[in-house]
Amino acid sequence: MATVTLEGNPINTNGDVPEVGAKAPDFTLVNNKLEDVGLKDFAGKKKLLSIVPSLDTPVCATSTKRFNELAANRDDVAVLTISADLPFANGRFCSSEGVEGVETLSLMRGRGFAKDYGVLIVDGPLAGITARAVVVLDADDRVVHSELVPEIAQEPDYDKAMAAL
């Protein structure tokens, strides 16, 4: 179990984010076309998993747009923003914000993801959704960088995540 804060108030997750060097747990999440996707769907690419509570919040929206910009010219990278939002909301967000280089994925049918990645919030007002984290995988799905952002209302360390790619 890890502890993060929400506006200074401590909240707990169910575990810890995967450690550097570990094989990333596979997952089944839902894309904006209501299709189930997993790591195999991004085979051969490096993956940046930007795990956020909801795209309907300023920090989550900002980080998604920022990773979209930073990875815009990286054909070897799949940027995946993962949230509790429904695919319909994810699609509206991408359309309205001009986000084209990020694949938004929903926990709609894949709640196991949050548990497997140690980011499921287990108490406090956001219990049941994810803490903010970034996990970077190499092309073989090995973790090369992981960050559990200590304050949910804080942006991740973009420079470290991009350097890991």
Pairing of β 29-30 and β 77-83? unpaired
**CA-CA distance, 132 to 159, in Å (whole number)?**
16
Residue 28 backbone dihedrals phi, psi, to 5 degrees: -130, 115
pLDDT at position 46: 97
Instruction: With a cut of 50, list the residues of the chain below it in pLDDT.
Output: none
Domains of the chain, by residue range, sit at 3-153
Q: How far apart are CA 157 and CA 130, in angstroms?
A: 18
Q: Which two three-digit tokens encode residue 122?
A: 């287990």
- What is residue 7's predicted lDDT score, i.e. its pLDDT? 92
Using an 8 Å Cβ cutoff, are 102 and 67 in contact? yes
149/154 Cα distance (integer angstroms): 7
pLDDT on residue 86: 96
What does the pLDDT look like over 147-159, one tens digit per residue?
Answer: 999 999 999 999 9
Q: What positions carry a catalytic annotation?
A: 60
CATH architecture of 3-153: 3-Layer(aba) Sandwich (3.40)
Tell me, what's the pLDDT at 67?
94
Q: What is the pLDDT of residue 117?
A: 97
- By the 10 Å C-beta count (0-12 exposed, 13-18 middle, 19+ buried), 19 is classed as exposed
Please tell me the pTM assigned to this model.
0.95
Q: Which two tokens stand for residue 74?
A: 């990286």
